Amino acid sequence: MSACRPQTVLLTGGRAPATLELARLFHAAGHRVVVAESLPHHVCQGSLAVARNVQVPAPNPDRAGFLAALAAIVRDERVDLVLPTCEELFHVAAGRDQLGCAVFAPPLPQLRRLHSKLQFIRDLAARGVAVPETWELRSPADWAALPAGRPVVLKPVFSRFGLDLLRATTGQPLPATGGAAGAAGFDFSRPWVAQAFVAGRALCTWSVARGGELRAHAAYDAAFTAGPGASVSFQPLDHPGLAAWVRDFARAEAYTGQLAFDFIEGADGTLWPLECNPRATSGVHLFAPGDGLDRVLLGEATPALATPSASAVLGLAMWLYALPEARTPERLASWVGRMAGTRDAVFRWDDPLPALSQVAAFGDLWWAGQRAGTSAIAASTRDIQWDGDL
């Protein structure tokens, strides 16, 4: 049980397995959990850890309706804390003063700087932090001006899950992206970055900071992913260098909120930050009841840094995405090793219904992706994603 008084927590973003994990952690600590979600089916439905699920308007087309619905939930359920988890975070931050209770999210201008894959790198470079060379692309002239012969990764300035990530070589033609209207060619209707390709090991972190002080931290490798970016297998990684890097960043930003980073660790041990996600990510799955994460999120002054003690996989995603990519005997053996004896972050015998809800939700997203000519992963954020407006 938590040392905090029992509180009511409103989690937004019930579609994410990380949200289900947080709901279970809060519930295990004696708190009451309410979940707000705009999708009709989501993974938190049916969970015994959730006292009430509420469907709300989607924030992307109807931010005012979304915020009004949240304010009503806060009032009716006597919510103590609103904790956004997915990209609806940015919409919540934009209207935090309307909600009538504590909101665990930084101010929107700070979130925008961190979410931008261009400004994040520029800010680090200005502080003297080692970063991959990164250039803004707004026109064919920007691409033509880059030094030739450099392998780069192309990605939109505002994007998520590695979606739309492309590989290219400077001095050669840009790859086609379909354009804003589906025409062949590169889509310059939105800003992109070209980032120098860095070889090495892909690492991820998820942390919580308050007042610039690191209060919870987890690190893991990106051994198996759904598509190019989203990890689906999680084992705690003891990496003091990553913890020190995140601690320094939180202090420099005087940060309060959630922080997640993608890194490449070079052969010489250099940590190259690629991007920041200032929201919940799958690092949440590494925490277990008793690790103190609930106390950190609720603002209790804990004497020690909350660190993870669990490992997990997203079982459905491991079967659907990771297994088809395990094309060598070594890779298949690694997949089997990750699956064997590791808990599924969604399915639990004492809380089984979310696993069924997950299948229904994935079916909805797959069909939505088919109708839109895109993937289920891309469809999963269309109604909540945020691309930089202020």
Query: For position 322, what pLDDT does the model report?
Result: 78
Are both 207 and 336 inside the same structural domain?
A: yes
CATH number of domain containing 310: 3.30.470.20
Are both 323 and 232 inside the same structural domain?
A: yes
Are both 251 and 296 inside the same structural domain?
A: yes
Are both 148 and 270 inside the same structural domain?
A: no
DSSP 17-60: HHHHHHHHHHHHTT-EEEEEESSSS-TTTT-TT-SEEEE---TT
Q: Which two tokens stand for residue 22?
A: 């947080």
The C-alpha atoms of residue 309 and residue 218 are separated, in whole angstroms, by 9
The C-alpha atoms of residue 268 and residue 1 are separated, in whole angstroms, by 43
Residue 144 lies in a domain: yes
- Rounded to 5 degrees, φ, ψ at 362 are -65, -40
Residue 290 lies in a domain: yes
Are both 187 and 210 inside the same structural domain?
A: no
Residue 390 lies in a domain: no
Dihedral Cα 63, 363, 157, 20, nearest 10 deg: 70
Alpha helices in the chain, H assignment, sequence order:
17-28, 63-77, 88-94, 108-115, 119-126, 140-144, 240-253, 293-298, 315-317, 323-325, 329-339, 353-372, 376-379
Asked whether the beta carbons of 37 and 44 are under 8 A apart, the reply is yes
Are both 225 and 324 inside the same structural domain?
A: yes
Whole-model pTM: value is 0.91
Query: For position 223, what pLDDT does the model report?
Result: 76
Alpha helices in 158-284, H assignment, sequence order:
240-253
- Half-sphere exposure of 147 toward its Cβ, with a 13 Å CA cutoff? 6
Tell me the pLDDT of the chain (390 aa) as tens digits. Answer: 445 689 999 999 999 999 999 999 999 999 999 999 999 999 999 999 999 999 999 998 899 999 999 999 999 999 999 999 999 999 999 999 999 999 999 999 999 999 999 999 999 999 999 999 999 999 999 999 999 999 999 999 998 766 678 999 999 999 887 554 444 578 888 899 999 999 999 999 999 999 999 999 999 987 777 766 677 888 889 999 999 999 999 999 999 999 999 999 999 999 999 999 999 998 999 999 989 999 999 998 665 688 888 888 888 888 887 788 888 888 888 888 888 878 899 999 999 999 999 888 878 777 777 777 776 666 667 787 778 774
Q: Residue 312 sits in which domain range?
A: 201-350
Asked whether the beta carbons of 188 and 137 are under 8 A apart, the reply is yes
Residue 192 lies in a domain: yes
Question: Bridge partners of 231?
Answer: 225
Are both 340 and 284 inside the same structural domain?
A: yes
The C-alpha atoms of residue 27 and residue 350 are separated, in whole angstroms, by 13
In terms of phi and psi (left: phi > 0; alpha: psi -120 to 50; beta: otherwise), the region of 287 is beta
The C-alpha atoms of residue 328 and residue 208 are separated, in whole angstroms, by 37
Domain boundary at 315, 332, 350, which?
Answer: 350
Query: For position 106, what pLDDT does the model report?
Result: 95
Domain boundary at 159, 177, 196, which?
Answer: 196
Asked whether the beta carbons of 383 and 55 are under 8 A apart, the reply is no
Are both 185 and 321 inside the same structural domain?
A: no
Residue 281 lies in a domain: yes
Strands 213-221 vs 271-277: parallel, antiparallel or unpaired:
unpaired
- Half-sphere exposure of 148 toward its Cβ, with a 13 Å CA cutoff? 4
Query: For position 330, what pLDDT does the model report?
Result: 85
Please choose, from the candidates 254, 249, 259, the residue with its C-alpha nearest in 3D space to the C-alpha of residue 131. 249
Number of folded domains that form the chain: 2
Are both 278 and 137 inside the same structural domain?
A: no
Residue 1 lies in a domain: no
Residue 44 lies in a domain: no
Residue 177 lies in a domain: yes
Domain boundary at 196, 215, 245, which?
Answer: 196
Are both 229 and 294 inside the same structural domain?
A: yes
Q: Which two tokens stand for residue 345?
A: 């972050």
Are both 145 and 255 inside the same structural domain?
A: no
The full length of the chain comes to 390
Are both 192 and 233 inside the same structural domain?
A: no
Query: For position 1, what pLDDT does the model report?
Result: 40
